[in-house]
Chains A and B, each alone.
Chain A
Amino acid sequence: MKTRDRILVTSLELFNAEGEANTTTIDIANELDISPGNLYYHFKGKDEIIRELFQQYELALSDTLTAPIEQPLSSDRNNVEDNWYYLYVVMEEMYNYRFFYLNLDDIRHRYPDIRKGFRRLIQLKRAALFAICQTLLQQAVIETEEQQMLGLVDNMTLTLTFWFNYDQLLTEVRPPQVTIHQGVLQMMTMVAPYLGDEQLSFYRDCESIYATMLEQSTPD
């Protein structure tokens, strides 16, 4: 791996683990075992690193989020579950860059361009979830009026966006898969009242998986 890429990967790890505000370029150089001068040769400070990381993130997440807008994830009622699995994919992607979300206000104030980027991403999340719900509606998986559905989509977007913050406030550090699974379950909980019996059984499976995960992750 090139030094430039290594700097980005290590920065991302440190930001996620220690928090962006608590990490300096010196920390990053130390972690990489390179001189601060060498780091400076590639990036003229933390700002540049953060901007580059955000570009990576926006590109990756935009790609993922446009998928259900381009084309329905499920072709008929038989693979409706793919819509739920898709939520995992989105959440996992977000988790990889979670430091943005955990320090969102601060980063938004310091970087106006990232602020705009984030707004684009949130809108794209809404659009993606809107597309998913519309597909579910067309395939008669859910039954709801349009206005309710728009509210539902916003609720889901809200949960998706702030799930990691909420989780961090509420609990101690948990295995990421538990956090992500619960987040997906939470979004499904919002759709659940509109679901038919068939899909409800899938929802129940999700619940029981969550219960097992909790059991396994809590030390006795």
Chain B
Amino acid sequence: MSDDKGKVTDKASEIAKNIWLAGVGAYGKAAGEAQDRLEKAGVETPKLFKDLVKAGAALEEEAKDKDKGKDKESPKRTASSSVEERISKVRENFSLTRPSRSDELSSLHAKIDLLSNKLDLLTNTLTDQGVIKVPTTRKKAAAKKPAVKKATAKKTAVKKAPPKKKAAASSRAKTKKRQD
């Protein structure tokens, strides 16, 4: 920070900050008058600018002081407390609409538990009634049936086809034999 370059940028940012603070300071009670003066006399600007920087800096100080020595002015205190109230109202609304991932997850877990319980109950009753002997075999059988049908269909198709092939093959064999 001791080199020249650092100093220059420091100064530049200090100026920029002052300009900015001047703006912030311009809102105060004197702002109306200050603005009038600005409009009337453009020449006065430098002095006015200084005033505004002061006002802005004072505002910052004021904010800091108030933070330190709390509870000085009662009417303003109520203003900020009403802001606090309204903030908490917004917070409440927000928590209602806010998607809480952990909640969603736990509700999903609960659903899964419920479903698996029901499944157990169902398989138990079915076994008791003798509809199924072992739950897993029933599933397998059901799954197998269509597959078996398809397989047989294919088999018949295959069965039908071979004779021709055989014939063709035998004829070919015959010709081969002849050639031999």
Which chain A residues have a beta carbon within 8 Å of chain B's beta carbons? 63-64, 66-67, 69-73, 81-82, 85-86, 88-89, 92, 116, 119-124, 126-127, 130-131, 146-147, 150, 205, 208-209, 212-213
Contacts and interface: CB of A to CB of B under 8 A. Distances in A.
Interface string B64-106: 0011001000001001101110111011001001110000000
Tell which of A81, A88, A209 has the most Cβ of chain B within 10 Å: A88
B23 A123 contact: yes
A16 B76 CA distance: 29
A59 to B, nearest CB: 10
- Tell me the dominant secondary structure on chain B's binding face: helix
Contact of A66 (B20, B80, B90): B80
A147 B80 contact: no
Chain B residues touching A, range: 20 to 34
A212 B86 CA distance: 23
B132 to A, nearest CB: 44
B32 interface: yes
B49 interface: no
Given A70-B63, A71-B67, A209-B99, A116 B32 contact: yes
A66 B76 contact: yes
A208 B99 contact: yes
Contact of B66 (A71, A81, A127): A71
A92 B82 CA distance: 14
B124 interface: no
Nearest to B86: A89
Contact of B24 (A123, A147, A209): A123
Contact of B27 (A123, A146, A150, A213): A123
Nearest to A93: B86
A119 B32 CA distance: 9
- Tell me the dominant secondary structure on chain A's binding face: helix
Given A123-B26, A127-B24, A147-B16, A69 B63 contact: yes
Nearest to A72: B67
Interface string B20-37: 100111110001100100
A210 to B, nearest CB: 10
Contact of B80 (A67, A88, A150): A67
A196 to B, nearest CB: 19
Nearest to A153: B20
Nearest to A208: B99
Contact of A67 (B23, B24, B26, B79): B79
A66 B79 CA distance: 9
Contact of B87 (A71, A82, A124, A213): A82
B127 to A, nearest CB: 45
B43 to A, nearest CB: 21
